Amino acid sequence: MKIENIHYSDHAKELINSFPKGILLLTKYKENINIMTIGWCLLGYMWNRPIFQTIIRTSRFTFNLIGKSKNFSVNVPLKDKMKEEILFCGTNSGIDINKIKKCRFTISNSQLIDSPIISNCDLFLECKVIAKLPIENINGDNSHENLSDNHFHMMYYGEIVLSYIKGGNR
């Protein structure tokens, strides 16, 4: 696959606009490779590093893996592609099913991390987890479904060690 390395913010607008539609996080620990759809994400800069943040509910299979793998790839399909796959990976757990096989994804090695990328996508971030933070609901009520104590999330801070897009002349 031909790729072009980019600065992490070069395609920030497309990346951020993809969050509400869902993008794909892949993490690998030993022989376990799993993909899940994420949408609650931030792109930013902290500790003098480019950072990709996402929150993962502790009930996810991905939560189990990412705590051990400590790295993940962010895989973004552009132009509203792969809607079905995004929905599938956001409504099925890797505990029960091999989502790579089911979605017929092609997996390729990353350059700087162990977790591979999904070549079917267009924009990629390779991230190393450098910090995590449990999300605390400061309002003390359970009225917000996604912030209630029953829906505990862990926030992961991934240092973006490499960003690239498919295609390009390099």
Q: Does 137 bind ligand FMN (CB under 6 A)?
A: no
32 or 111: whose CB is closer to ligand FMN? 32
Give residues with Cβ within 8 angstroms of 138, minimum separation 6: none
Query: With CB under 6 A as the contact rule, which of the stretches 1-9, 38-46, 116-124, 135-143 interacts with ligand FMN?
Result: 38-46
Contact (CB, 8 A) for 16 and 38 = no
C-alpha closest to that of 50 among 165, 162, 166 = 162
Q: Which of residues 75-134 bind ligand FMN (CB under 6 A)?
A: 87, 90-95
Query: With CB under 6 A as the contact rule, which of the stretches 29-37, 43-51, 69-77, 127-135 interacts with ligand FMN?
Result: 29-37
Residue holding tokens 């060690």?
Answer: 161
Q: Does 55 bind ligand FMN (CB under 6 A)?
A: yes
Minimal distance in Å, beta carbon 170 to ligand FMN? Answer: 32
72 or 124: whose CB is closer to ligand FMN? 72
Q: What is the dihedral of CA 54, 59, 61, 65, to 10 degrees?
A: 60
Contact (CB, 8 A) for 113 and 70 = no
Among 11, 60, 70, 128, binds ligand FMN (CB under 6 A): 60
Contact (CB, 8 A) for 132 and 156 = yes
Minimal distance in Å, beta carbon 136 to ligand FMN? Answer: 16
Q: Does 28 bind ligand FMN (CB under 6 A)?
A: no
Contact (CB, 8 A) for 105 and 118 = yes
Q: Does 37 bind ligand FMN (CB under 6 A)?
A: yes
Assigned token pair, 113:
């991390």
Among 15, 24, 26, 38, binds ligand FMN (CB under 6 A): 38
Q: Does 61 bind ligand FMN (CB under 6 A)?
A: yes
